[in-house]
């Protein structure tokens, strides 16, 4: 913790990115593989498909 406190902004910012990468690696190990043939249309508007993504306002 003390080392984090004394680290420069570039180092702390870099650490943030490393943590995100680690999260993605953990996620990759436990999530279903992404099926590229089932990828959604590039843009929801005009796709004719109702959005299924989650949002913080949804209980």
Partner 1 sequence: MNLPLVNPAPRRAALVLLAFVAVFLTFATAGPRAALLLLVGLGFGLTLEGLRFGFAGPWRTLVTERDARGLLAQFLAIGLTACVAMPLLASFPTELNGAHAPIGLAMIVAAFVFGAAMQLVMGCGSGTLVNAGSGNAIALVALVGFVAGSFFGTLHLAWWGSFGVLPLLTMQGQFGTVGGLAMTLLGLGVLAALALQRSLPGKRLPPRRLWLAAALIALLAILNLVIAGQSWGVVYGLGLWGAKLASAAGADLGGTAFWGSAAHAERLSQSLLTDVTSLTNIGLILGAFLVMRWRAVPDAQVAPLTPRSWLVVLLAGLVLGYSARVALGCNVGAFFSGVSTGSLHGWAWFVAAFAGSMLGIRLRPRLLLPLLPADGIGTGGGR
Binding residues for partner 1 (CB under 8 A):
1, 4-17, 19-20, 23-24, 26-34, 36, 39-59
51: Cα within 13 Å, side-chain hemisphere: 9
Question: What minimum distance in Å lies between the beta carbon of 28 and partner 1?
Answer: 7
Question: What minimum distance in Å lies between the beta carbon of 37 and partner 1?
Answer: 10
Q: Which stretches of 1-59 are DSSP H helices? A: 2-6, 9-30
Question: What minimum distance in Å lies between the beta carbon of 38 and partner 1?
Answer: 9
């Amino acid at each position: 913790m003390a080392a984090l406190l004394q680290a420069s902004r570039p180092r702390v910012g870099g650490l943030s990115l490393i943590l995100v990468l680690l999260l993605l690696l953990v996620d990759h190990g436990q999530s279903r593989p992404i099926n590229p043939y089932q990828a959604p249309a590039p843009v929801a508007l005009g796709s004719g498909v109702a959005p299924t993504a989650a949002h913080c306002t949804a209980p």
